[in-house]
Structure formats: structure tokens, C-alpha cells
Amino acid sequence: MSISTQSDTWRFFDQNPLTHSAAHYLMTIHELKSEHGYARLTDISRHLQISAGSCSTSLKVLKKKGLITDDQNKFWSLTPKGERLTNFVERNDQLLTTLLHDLLGVDLWQAEVDACKMEHLLSFETSLKLARFVEFLTSDEALAMQVREHIGQLPMPDYDDLRDPAEE
């Protein structure tokens, strides 16, 4: 698929299979089931620090999309599709954190925050190629160290108005 102009790129954002929020619901259900053997609405809402009402509304949407299911006891589980998406997002998170922190030298906290923002947005193709790239660079510690050192020595972009937009 070719995008005619960069101004059209934003239109493809809505075609993502998961929103940021949906990804966190799925990961929370996965985590709670792994830790406790079950995931109830109250556990999910407490973990995400949201109201039970908001949680219920979102769970219904995820259920309708076929990503989660509940049993007669109202214990929530991931469907096979939900499990695959959760694993994909968690893998992307690890890849992005490794790229940002281990290879580019971004502070770990910031790398985790940025990875969280991007983890659910990557296409399958980009994720596979990123995995190969990160695996290649991290397969040899000397190479990874060279990459970090080289990147650290590169001059910063020369933008007269380059400032952290969050600080304005």
C-alpha cells in the first residue's frame, strides 16, 4: 500500500487493531490470570486504577471484538486472538525498550514510557523487522557497545528551535 502524501498517514491510525487502553486491559487480564488464576472486573479496575463502571464498559467492547470472554463466575479470560495480540504487544514493548535503552542509550524510565506509547501501534511487518534488527545488534555485546558509543558521539540535530515541547 502506498500513501500518497504524508498528510494522509494519520488516517491509518484508526486501522490499528488495538487502542492503547485496550492493550492495557488485555495485558492486565493476562497478568492477573498468570498471578492469581483469575481476573475479575474488580481486580482489573483496581489494577488499572479506574472505576468499575468504566472497566465494565471497556470489557464489553473487548468481548464484542472477540478478544476476551467471561465465564458464569464473571472471571475474564483472553480468547486465542486476545492472547496473540497480548503476546504481540508485550513483545513489541520488550523490543522497543531494548532498542531505546540498551542500544540508543535513552534513560530506562523514559524508554519504558516511550515503548508503552508505541507497543500497540507497530505493524506485524515492522515488528518482525525490528526484532531482527534488535537481535542482530544485541547478539554481539561488542557490536551493541560500538553502536551505543557511536550514537553517543554523533552531533545533535542542528535545529535552532529544538526544545522539549513538554517543558514549554
d(CA 28, CA 22): 10
Letter for the amino acid at 72?
Q
Read off the pLDDT band of 87 (50, 70, 90).
very high
Segment 153-163 shows an average pLDDT of: 70
Place of cell 507497543: 119
This prediction has a pTM of 0.81
Segment 32-51 shows an average pLDDT of: 96
Q: Which residues pair with 68 in a beta bridge?
A: 78
Segment 102-123 shows an average pLDDT of: 93
Query: Residue length, the chain?
Result: 168
Q: What pLDDT, on a 0 to 100 scale, did the predictor assign at position 101? A: 93
Mean pLDDT, all residues of the chain: 88
Domains of the chain (ranges plus CATH)? 17-78 (1.10.10.10), 86-153 (1.10.60)
